[in-house]
C-alpha cells in the first residue's frame, strides 16, 4: 500500500510531536485523521493543516472507543509533561491504559498497524547507562510520576499481549527528550523553560546541582524515526529507543540556551523534584541497525530554530 492510499490515525495529533507527524504524513500523500481532546495540546498547532482536503481534525478522548476505518495508527495520546500529567494523575493513567485498550481494539477490528509512543520514563531513574531496550528499569510505582511512568509501562504490556494473543502488527518506540517548535511555553520541560525564561530576561531555574543529564532530540529527527518504525515489517515490534545519544548536563544546556538567545539573565537553584532521573541517555544501536535511523540535527542547530519560534510566539502573545 502506498502512502497516497493510506488513511492514518494520529491520536494526540494536535500536540507538539503529533502536529509535526501529521504534517509529515500529509506531505507523503496520506490521508490523516488527527484525534485530540486538547487537554495538553492546542488546536493552533494544526490550524495550518485544516485547509488540506486530506486532513481531518476530530475532538475525541481516547479513553472512549473510537469507530473509524484506518490503515495505520500512531498512538501518541497522553499528556507527556509533568505539569499536565500530574495535574490529574488518575486521568493520566486512564489515558495510558484505557486509551491503549481502545486503540488496540480499533487496530484489531480494522487490521491496522499500530505504533505506541512510549517513553524513556519506563527506565525510571536508571541504574545502567546508557539505557538499552533490554533494561527493565528502576521506577517508583507509587511516586508522583508513576501515573505516567507506570501508565506507559502498562501500555507496553497491553501492546505485547495483543501481539501475542491476537497477532496484531504492533510497533513500540521509547521516546527520549524531544524539543522544537510548537512546544507549549508552560509545559514544564527543561528546554522550553530555559528558552522562555531567557527570552523574558528571567533567571533560568536549575534543579539540584545541575549535574543531572538529559539527551535532546530535535522533533524533525524524532518524526523521521517514528515513520521509519511504522514502515518496518511484521517481524519488527520493538521496543526501540528513539532519541539523540548526545548527553548534556542541565548546566551545559543552560549555557547553550543563553548563547542561542544572546543574553544572560543568570540562573537560580531549587531542590531536585521527587523521583527526577539523574541520568538519561539512549542506546540507539537497535534503531541504527533495524531502522537505519539516527538523529542528524545537533543541539545548537535545533536550539536556534526553537528559540526563533519562541521569540515569535512570545512577541505575538
* Active site positions, annotated: 148
Positive or negative, the Cα torsion across 157, 160, 163, 165? Answer: negative
Phi then psi dihedrals of residue 7, to 5 deg = -110, 120
Closest by CA position to 175, among listed 288, 286, 282: 282
Q: Cβ distance 70 to 9 under 8 Å?
A: yes
Secondary structure of the chain in HEC code, one letter for each residue? CCHHHCEEEEECCCCHHHHHHHHHHHHCCCEEEEEECCCCCCHHHCHHHCCCCCEEEEECCCCCCCCCCCCEEEECCCCCCHHHHCCCHHHHHHHHHHHHHHHHHHHHHHCCEEEEEEEHHHHECCCCCCECCCCCCECCCCCCCHHHHHHHHHHHHHHHHHHHHHCCCEEEEEECCEECCCCCCCCCCHHHHHHHHHHCCCCEEEECCCCCEEECEEHHHHHHHHHHHHCCCCCCCCCEEECCCCEEEHHHHHHHHHHHHCCCCCEEEECCCCCCCCCCCECCHHHHHHHCCCCCCCHHHHHHHHHHHHHHHHHHC
CA dist 70 and 32 (Å) reads 9
Amino acid at each position: 500500500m502506498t502512502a497516497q492510499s493510506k488513511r492514518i490515525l494520529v491520536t494526540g495529533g494536535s500536540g507538539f510531536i503529533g502536529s509535526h507527524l501529521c504534517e509529515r504524513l500529509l506531505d507523503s500523500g496520506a490521508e490523516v485523521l488527527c484525534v485530540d481532546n486538547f487537554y495538553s495540546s492546542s488546536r493552533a498547532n494544526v490550524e495550518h493543516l485544516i485547509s488540506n482536503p486530506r486532513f481531518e481534525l476530530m475532538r475525541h478522548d481516547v479513553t472512549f472507543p473510537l469507530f473509524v476505518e484506518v490503515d495505520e495508527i500512531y498512538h501518541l495520546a497522553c499528556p507527556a509533561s509533568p505539569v499536565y500529567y500530574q495535574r490529574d494523575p488518575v486521568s493520566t493513567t486512564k489515558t495510558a491504559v484505557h486509551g491503549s485498550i481502545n486503540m488496540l481494539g480499533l487496530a484489531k477490528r480494522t487490521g491496522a498497524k499500530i505504533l505506541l509512543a512510549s517513553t524513556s520514563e519506563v527506565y525510571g531513574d536508571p541504574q545502567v547507562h546508557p539505557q538499552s531496550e533490554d533494561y527493565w528499569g528502576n521506577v517508583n510505582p507509587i511516586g508522583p510520576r508513576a501515573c505516567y511512568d507506570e501508565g506507559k509501562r502498562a501500555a507496553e504490556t497491553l501492546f505485547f499481549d495483543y501481539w501475542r494473543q491476537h497477532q496484531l502488527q504492533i510497533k513500540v518506540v521509547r521516546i527520549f527528550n524531544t524539543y522544537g517548535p510548537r512546544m507549549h511555553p508552560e509545559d514544564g520541560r527543561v528546554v522550553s523553560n530555559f528558552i522562555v525564561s531567557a527570552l523574558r530576561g528571567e533567571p533560568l531555574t536549575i534543579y539540584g546541582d545541575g549535574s543531572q543529564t538529559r539527551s535532546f532530540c530535535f522533533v524533525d529527527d524524532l518524526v523521521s524515526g517514528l515513520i521509519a518504525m511504522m514502515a518496518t515489517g511484521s517481524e519488527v515490534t520493538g521496543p526501540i529507543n528513539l532519541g539523540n545519544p548526545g548527553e548534556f548536563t542541565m548546566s551545559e544546556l543552560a549555557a547553550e540556551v543563553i548563547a542561542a538567545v544572546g543574553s544572560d539573565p543568570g540562573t537560580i537553584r531549587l531542590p531536585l523534584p521527587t523521583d527526577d532521573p539523574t541520568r538519561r541517555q539512549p542506546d540507539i544501536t537497535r534503531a541504527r541497525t533495524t531502522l537505519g535511523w539516527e538523529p542528524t540535527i545537533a543541539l545548537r542547530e535545533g536550539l536556534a530554530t526553537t528559540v526563533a519560534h519562541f521569540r515569535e510566539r512570545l512577541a505575538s502573545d
